[in-house]
Amino acid sequence: MRLVARIRAGDQHAMSELYDRYAKVVYAVALRVLQNAEGAEDVLQDVFMQLWRKPDAFDASRGSLAAWLAVISRHRSIDRLRQRRPETNIEDCVIACASDLGQEIERTLVIEKVRQVLADMNPDYRKLLELAFFQGMTHTDIATKTGEPLGTVKTRIRAGLQQLRAKFAG
């Protein structure tokens, strides 16, 4: 039985396996956003407990659990950074990701490729993605910081993500 199916069935050992498989990814994202080990550990607990409480929130037919957990970890870290209540409901966070990423070897291949794509990306786009995604800056903050018009920032963030997608698939 797949891991999430076992979690749905209330199997507590499955949570232990889930932790072994994905804790490093979830923690790495939270630590990068929060720059604080204690906060990152709290986010890690929060993300896994949300899956335990609402296992149906993850739709296995539509994406990778690793990517889903990583995005939820980023969102919860930003909520913590901004000291606000969670904006995104985890059930609404449907992710389209072609790779399964269930195994370490699969994740390693994907991570290496993503890093390569980011390294090859237009540095302006890469910088905007870093500010918006990992530093949690709003596009208004980014426009103020970079001196670029608000519309340009918005367009470049979207273009950067689409470029990441196209080069990753290519």
Partner 1 sequence: MRTHEQFADDLALYALDELTGGMREELEQHVEGCAACRRELQMLRGDLGLLALSSSGPQPPARSKERLIQSVAAEPRRVPRGNPVSAGERSLWTALVPSLAALGLLMLVVVLLRDKSHLQTQLAKLEDRSRMLSSQLDRLSEEVKLLSAADAIHVSLNPQNAPRQPSGTAIFSPSQKRIMFMANNLAPVARGKAYELWIIPTSGAPVPAGMFKPNEHGNGMIVGGKMPDGITAKAFAVTIENEAGSDKPTSPILLVGSIG
Return the residues of window 103-142 that contact partner 1 according to CB under 8 A. Answer: 103-111, 114-115, 118, 129, 132-134, 138-139
Least distance from partner 1 to the Cβ atom of residue 49, Å: 6
Q: Looking at residues 71 to 100 of the shown chain, list those that interact with partner 1 (rule: CB under 8 A).
A: 71, 73-75, 78-79, 87-88, 93-98, 100
| # of chain residues touching partner 1 (CB under 8 A) | 76
Helix (H), strand (E), coil (C) string for the chain: CCHHHHHHCCCHHHHHHHHHHHHHHHHHHHHHHHCCHHHHHHHHHHHHHHHHHCHHHCCHHHCCHHHHHHHHHHHHHHHHHCCCCCCCCHHHCCCCCCCCCCCHHHHHHHHHHHHHHHHHCCHHHHHHHHHHHHCCCCHHHHHHHHCCCHHHHHHHHHHHHHHHHHHHHC
Which of 61, 147 has the CB closer to partner 1? 61
Least distance from partner 1 to the Cβ atom of residue 83, Å: 14
Pick one of 58, 66, 80, 125: the residue that binds partner 1 (CB under 8 A): 66
> Using the rule CB under 8 A, is 29 a contact of partner 1?
yes
